[in-house]
Amino acid sequence: MTSFVQIKYSNQHPGVARVESAIEAAQQLRHGFSGTRGLATLLLSAIAAAVMVVAYQVMDSVTEGHLLVMWIAVWAVAFAVLASFAGTARNVAVRMKAGLDSWSRALAEARADQRLWAMAKSDPRVMADLQVAQSRSEYEQAEAVPAVVRKVQAGGSMLRAYQRNYI
């Protein structure tokens, strides 16, 4: 008589599976954070620290008997301030991040233009390409303006003429 033994062995080590799931969870946690939320948290923490410094200076002059009551009151005020300014701090952080992004983008474009101009000074082919691109842009602008004017004179609005030509 023949009998078959089928033992279920795992193809993967349980420790490796736990490490892989921990790494995957850490990556998902990292994607959950945004720069604006972190910046808002940083601003709120700075405000809370400033409030605590002022409160410490005020409490330093109070007698020791009322110290615990003062600390509880200060922390209650600090949490109320944090709760009331959370939206404002987030908006400030978003605007600050957008401003810094646009500033760095403008700085990068200026550096790229400087590099291109330096290359154009040393290479006549690049200079010729720039001159052709500039003359093409001037020609397209000269052709676009009369077309818009003709359409406006024909009875259409300037906005509709612009939208038909460019959008």
**Do 117 and 151 lie in a common domain?**
no
**Do 75 and 58 lie in a common domain?**
yes
Name the residue with higher pLDDT: 149 or 20.
20
Q: Does 61 score more than 60 pLDDT?
A: yes
Chain Cα centroid distance, residue 120 = 34
Q: What is the pTM of this model?
A: 0.39
Containing structural domain, residue 152: 124-167
The answer to whether residue 111 is domain-embedded is yes
From the list 100, 149, 34, the residue with the least C-alpha distance to 162 is 149
Sign of torsion over alpha carbons 50, 53, 55, 58 = negative
**Do 128 and 79 lie in a common domain?**
no
Domains contained in the chain, number = 2
For residue range 124-161, what is the model confidence (pLDDT) as tens digits?
888 888 888 888 888 877 776 666 555 555 555 545 55
